[in-house]
Structure 1
Amino acid sequence: MKLPVEKSYDAIVIGSGIGGLAVASLLSRIGKKRVLVLERHFKAGGFTHIFKRHDYLWDVGIHYIGGMQEGGMLRHLTDFITDGKVQWQPMANPFERFVYPGLTFDVYHPEERFRSDLIGRFPEEKAAIEQYFDDVKKMAGWFGMHVTMKNMPPLLEKIASPLRLAGIKSALMTTGEYMDTHFRDPALKAVLTSQWGDYGLPPSRSAFVIHALIVTHYFDGGFYPVGGSGTIAASIIPSIKEQGGEVLLCHEVRDILMKDGRACGVRAMEIQGNEEKGEHEFFAPVIISDAGAHTTYTRLLRDHIPETMRAEVDVAYRDTGLSNLTLYVGLNDSPEKLGVKGENYWIYTGFDHEDSFARRNEILEGRPAGAYISFPSLKDAKAHKPTAEIICFVDYEPFKKWATQPWKNRDEEYQKLKSQLTESMLDFAERHIPGFRSLVAYTELSTPVTNEHFANHAAGQIYGIPCTPERFRRDWMGVRTPVDGVYLTGADASSPGFAGALMGGYGAAAVVLGLRGLPGLLRSVVKS
């Protein structure tokens, strides 16, 4: 059957996060494919987009990225799809500050400095610290092999699967199990796991491999896109359009269409504001979803996969999945006046991260258990006005009753709660960075229902399928799906964060293009 030319493409990508834009760009650049990207939001970029208020600019998801040093693999991969148009500014050094009662630990790069500072602070555990640095690098290597094998054709993956067994026991123990096995000092365990918010699970729940990925990711420090993360999508989209592709905003995909047992297109609703303008059908033999495994399997493919699998995906997604509050703060003067140089602050009220996680909802009573505080304007040489962001984790359930109310028009009770939360978060910042409140000129708070509205992630979750050990054992986690012609990209095809979602895009492109798998694609990109 010949498809109508005006609505037919070589591939359709659902969602314009970095995973979606990456695979669309690679299919366009390398495969010379006409690709249609459908985005439900009125801006492209997913968690890489920006927003402005009163000349203040904030990134909604990119707070810092590792691996962007000149010559690094991640830098090569990013430069390829952005034509090298995104500049990356190194953060201050130290780039992280971990704050606990009676203990503050600054994280410097490179790796050797980080290691020596840990040994200097905890000399009695020198041997264990040195072993730890070896282990996290080994586990990061295991993950690379794991993802490569997941992207192989099923028969080859089965043949090669014994290779994955080497190291799997360490990779898929929990982070807490590793810490308890190797270290004695509770303060050292806390310091080493201070960045658990980067993947959204406390040590007792997270797989050690995801902890290792985050730690090694920042061995060379943190970086930030000059001009804000909006430059990323803006630099990628032209490559899609050059091959006759398109990025359509305000189009929410509701169904994946099937013909003769395989995908043949999508049905999307055009939405302007809160108004549905009408359905449209688009056709392609390849459908790639950047909407997340949960949305893809439980909504878009709900009629085409077994009920048992849908239930398994739903249970996995809701297994300690996390949402958050983000307070966007406009400042009347530079935070440098307070001694801030641009480093991130991870602030905890105790050394027990399990306790902090368990008390995450106490912020609703004015008692934050911890917070991440970032200063975007100090990371960006082109920032016009000083800004800060304060992030606290919280559950979706206390906000659920407002999910059906329209964005920007939720009731007085919701607005009152937001005001109370804003004050609690500002008070917390003031206690740990004295003088912070005196700089505050503007605030705007996002909640779990904000996340759900914009990202379309059930329960406002921000990290997709939680990175428990079970996640890495799931057959359905990866690029390939049980439905012919349908693939996943983004974080759930690889790992959370910008780098993980980007690698999900590369993995999806490797599978679709058949370029001898992910390693072959990476070599061809770096060579070019």
Structure 2
Amino acid sequence: MHFLARSMKDMVIEYIFGCGLCNVFSLLVLGFFTVIYYWCKGNPFIGVQQPPISLNELEKKRLLRTTFQEKKIPENVDVIIIGSGASGLVCAGCLSRMGKKVLVLEQHDRAGGSTHTFEMEGFEFDVGVHYVGNMADGDMDHMLFDVLSDGQLGWDKLDSKFDSVVLNDKEHSMILFGNGEEKKYTKSLLKYFPKEEDAIKKFDTLLKDSSKSVVAYVLMKVLPKFVTKFLLRTGILYALFPQYQKLTETNVKDVLNELTDDETLKFVFGYAFGDYGTYPSKAPFLMHGMLMDYFRNGAYYPRGGSTSLAKNMIPGIRRGGGNVLVNANVERILTDDEGKVYGVSVKRHSNSVIVKAPIVVSSIGIFNTFQNLLPPRVSEQYDVQMSDLDTGLSCFQTFLGLKGETKELELRKRNYWIVNNLDAESAMKKYMTLTAEDAASAPIPLVFVSFPSAKDSCWRERYPGKSVCTAVTFVNWKWFENWENLSAASTKDHVYSAVKKGIQEQVVNVVLKNFPQLADKIEFVESGTPLSHKHYLGTPKGEIYGIDHTMKRFQPELATRLLPTTSIPGLYLTGQDIFTCGVSGAAVSGIITSGAIQGRNHFLDLYAAMLLKVCRRFWVRIAGKAQ
């Protein structure tokens, strides 16, 4: 589950059209800046395409597990990046292509962050990538990953109705709704809700408004602070993006209540709050709208599984003289007497290894960075108070290994959002008030179910005769916090095990109720509690989306302070916390941070690369016709 920011190219073009400013002057201005950035030296997305490093799958897997050792630290490191998730690797990839020697340090035993996979009992499971958008050839995100992976990263398209809402009442009725291709989306809704045409059209308009308005949020992240302040004080930003203020000051729940009285339609409109992990009554409609609108043109899954992202981006980082090292537990960010960053301290067994660099980028979240890695005298300089921020909902994942292949098991390339109450927020809040022991035997109000093996076109080559299922829900962190500071062995006492097993059984019950054909096909079951997320991914309370996606987070007062730059010289931030959640949200933060370090706007760099690609195709066609 994750947010994906829409193609900036599409957003800018739609904004120009939507505001009635589509004239020759507007296009000339856009073209002028594009050409300027194309000819400027240093665009990391344009130049001689590097040939991919020839590695077989075994060698690529070894890249993911290169253990931290002093001898593997490159000489004269320019930038250290803490964390090897999508944001850290994208940032490192961009910097490497601009001549920087980058060292990425990962505390887990494999690289990838939330995009990593793990194997148990002969099955492979992903932990954080269920679907992404904007990956059609020519889209911005596709261009970004294509460049950083030397063209090695492929994407498989999911079913056109890739998200299905399953409404389970006491009689177990099942109704499917799909959010898919743009022209079919409203038609699909009208088929089920013929009397709600007005509400559906208004909702569709709000999605488009959100997609246009998110450009304002991006500008707050990439423009110099004094420019942003000027645009806000003069009202120019709101004049350019007139819907932004309303969309960030109105929550999802209120918007849906205004649109319709039909409770089923409300849930179909709002089901995807699980993709950003914030209750509809707290989340701004901007977040929800841009997420839903982004998925209009379909969803994709990384070919070869989610670990393909790291496997195919690390070679480019190493080619630039850098490295990605795991089992590298950064215990401190080092600062001198003047508060300037000069490196990190890595805990290695009973010793500490000092690694020096003039720039350190933290991709592990604001809470971890300022509460755990910096001394108070330094962290106090940061202009965001931790009390202004909340963590998102904690996560519980269940992984099922299945005997049989996709066709045999009748699996689809889609996700299922399964609820037992149309008011999912109220049901979840009530569920959260239970004790841990009661929760272990209580029905779960919301479960997300998907089959990664069905989405990956080369799964069968790797795991013939097998399939996997991933099921995700939200739980209360307080149910597990008593075991937070105990060792892995100690956490397996009878109470912890009973709570974990009980919730797991409830999740499996939901899966089998909706997919009864799997009843005798389950060969393996394992679950990850919030403590698992904290241990492997370093999240403070086992959340999967960083700081909570509340209305306050998107309003200018806080949005203009959650930036890649900090008041601490040499320290930069990247990751979900400075932009928004999900693979594409993290990737966008990666290019924003790389651009901040280099003093460039990587969005314009990407536009230039996309324009160049279009021009090349145009000339190929012309040349072909001439022949």
Identify whether the pair has TM-score above 0.5, normalized to the shorter chain.
yes
| Alignment of 1:14 onto 2:43 | no
Aligned match for 2:546, one of 461, 464, 472: 464
Change (3 A) 1:477 1:324: same
**Which is strand-richer, 1 or 2?**
1
Do 1:105 and 1:191's aligned partners in 2 also have CA atoms closer than 8 Å? no
1:386 is aligned with what amino acid? S
SS at 1:428's partner residue? helix
Which deviates more from structure 2 when the two are superposed, residues 445-454 or residues 212-221? 212-221
SS at 2:341's partner residue? strand
User: Following the alignment from structure 2 to structure 1, what is the Cα–Cα distance between the partners of residues 140 and 431?
Assistant: 36
Which deviates more from structure 2 when the two are superposed, residues 154-163 or residues 11-20? 154-163
Do 1:19 and 1:290's aligned partners in 2 also have CA atoms closer than 8 Å? yes
Do 1:23 and 1:505's aligned partners in 2 also have CA atoms closer than 8 Å? yes
Deviation at 1:298, TM superposition (A): 2.0
Do 1:142 and 1:167's aligned partners in 2 also have CA atoms closer than 8 Å? yes
| Alignment of 1:281 onto 2:359 | no
Partner of 1:43: 110
User: Following the alignment from structure 1 to structure 2, what is the Cα–Cα distance between the partners of residues 204 and 60?
Assistant: 27
Do 1:7 and 1:283's aligned partners in 2 also have CA atoms closer than 8 Å? no
Aligned match for 1:400, one of 481, 488, 491: 481
Partner of 2:446: 370
| Alignment of 1:240 onto 2:310 | no
Aligned match for 1:324, one of 377, 392, 395: 395
Deviation at 1:337, TM superposition (A): 4.5
Partner of 1:126: 197
Do 1:407 and 1:453's aligned partners in 2 also have CA atoms closer than 8 Å? no
User: Following the alignment from structure 2 to structure 1, what is the Cα–Cα distance between the partners of residues 569 and 529?
Assistant: 37
- Map 1:490-501 to 2 at 5 A: 490-501=575-586
User: Following the alignment from structure 2 to structure 1, what is the Cα–Cα distance between the partners of residues 407 and 236?
Assistant: 50
Change (3 A) 1:482 1:364: farther
Partner of 2:372: 299
Partner of 1:204: 281
Partner of 1:520: 604
| Alignment of 1:502 onto 2:584 | no
Partner of 1:146: 217
Do 1:15 and 1:290's aligned partners in 2 also have CA atoms closer than 8 Å? yes
User: Following the alignment from structure 1 to structure 2, what is the Cα–Cα distance between the partners of residues 148 and 77?
Assistant: 19
TM-score by length of 1: 0.92
Change (3 A) 1:258 1:108: closer
User: Following the alignment from structure 2 to structure 1, what is the Cα–Cα distance between the partners of residues 219 and 422?
Assistant: 37
User: Following the alignment from structure 2 to structure 1, what is the Cα–Cα distance between the partners of residues 287 and 135?
Assistant: 19
Change (3 A) 1:6 1:490: closer
Residues 170-191 of structure 1: per-residue CA shift (max 9 Å, x gap): 2211111211222221111110
Partner of 2:492: 411
Residues 454-490 of structure 1: per-residue CA shift (max 9 Å, x gap): 1111111111111101112314312122212211111
| Alignment of 1:421 onto 2:503 | yes
User: Following the alignment from structure 1 to structure 2, what is the Cα–Cα distance between the partners of residues 311 and 255?
Assistant: 20
Deviation at 1:159, TM superposition (A): 2.0
- Whose Rg is larger? 2
User: Following the alignment from structure 2 to structure 1, what is the Cα–Cα distance between the partners of residues 221 and 301?
Assistant: 30
Partner of 2:291: 214
SS at 1:388's partner residue? strand
User: Following the alignment from structure 2 to structure 1, what is the Cα–Cα distance between the partners of residues 303 and 548?
Assistant: 30
SS at 1:445's partner residue? strand
| Alignment of 1:224 onto 2:297 | no
Deviation at 1:244, TM superposition (A): 1.1
User: Following the alignment from structure 2 to structure 1, what is the Cα–Cα distance between the partners of residues 381 and 441?
Assistant: 39
In structure 1, runs of 5+ residues without a counterpart are: 271-275
Deviation at 1:6, TM superposition (A): 6.0
Aligned match for 1:484, one of 563, 569, 575: 569
TM-score by length of 2: 0.78
Do 1:371 and 1:391's aligned partners in 2 also have CA atoms closer than 8 Å? yes
Deviation at 1:409, TM superposition (A): 5.7
Aligned match for 1:107, one of 178, 182, 195: 178
Deviation at 1:519, TM superposition (A): 2.8
Which deviates more from structure 2 when the two are superposed, residues 102-111 or residues 309-318? 309-318
Identical counterparts, % of pairs: 28
Deviation at 1:308, TM superposition (A): 9.4
2:341 is aligned with what amino acid? A
Change (3 A) 1:408 1:501: farther
Partner of 2:56: none
Q: CA RMSD in A?
A: 2.1
Residues 14-54 of structure 1: per-residue CA shift (max 9 Å, x gap): 1100000000010011x210111111111001001111112
Partner of 2:16: none
1:389 is aligned with what amino acid? T
User: Following the alignment from structure 2 to structure 1, what is the Cα–Cα distance between the partners of residues 454 and 430?
Assistant: 31
Partner of 2:152: 85
Aligned length: 515
Do 1:510 and 1:521's aligned partners in 2 also have CA atoms closer than 8 Å? no
Residues 487-519 of structure 1: per-residue CA shift (max 9 Å, x gap): 11111121100010000001101111112x243
User: Following the alignment from structure 1 to structure 2, what is the Cα–Cα distance between the partners of residues 64 and 93?
Assistant: 13
Deviation at 1:391, TM superposition (A): 1.0
Do 1:7 and 1:281's aligned partners in 2 also have CA atoms closer than 8 Å? no
2:230 is aligned with what amino acid? I
Change (3 A) 1:103 1:428: closer
